Structure 1
Amino acid sequence: MIEKLVAIKDRFEEVGQLLVQPDAMSDMKAYSKLSKEYKDLEKIVKVYDEYQNVIDNIASAKEVLQTEKDEEFREMAKMELDELVPREETLEAEIKVLLIPKDPDDQKDVIMEIRAGAGGDEAAIFAGDLYRMYDRFIETKGWSKELISLSEASSGGFKEIVFGVSGDDVYGSLKFESGVHRVQRVPVTESQGRVHTSAASVAVLPEVDEVDFELNMKDVKKDTYRSSGAGGQHVNKTESAVRLTHLPTNTVVECQDGRSQHKNYDKALQVLRSRLYEKELKKQQDEIASDRKSLVGSGDRSDKIRTYNYPQGRVTDHRISYSVHNLPTVMDGQLADFIENLRIAENADKLQDGSLE
Structure 2
Amino acid sequence: MRGADPAIVLIPGIGMFSYGTNKQTARVAGEFYLNAINVMAGAHAISTYQPISEAEKFRIEYWTLEEAKLQRLPKPKPLTARIALVTGAGSGIGRAIAHRLAAEGACVVIADRNPHSAATVAAEIGDTDIAIPVTVDVTDTAAVQHAIQQTVLAFGGIDLIVNNAGLSISKPLLQTTDGDWDLQHNVMARGSFLVSREAARALIDQNMGGDIIYITSKNSVFAGPNNIAYGAAKADQAHQVRLLAAELGPHRIRVNGINPDGVVQGSGIFTSGWGAQRAATYGIPENQLSAFYAQRTLLKQETLPEHVANAVYALTAGDLTHTTGLHIPVDAGVAAAFLR
Fold conserved between structures, TM > 0.5: no
Q: Determine which structure has more spread, i.e. the larger CA radius of gyration.
A: 1
Greater percentage in strand: 1
Query: Which TM-score applies when normalising by structure 2?
Result: 0.31
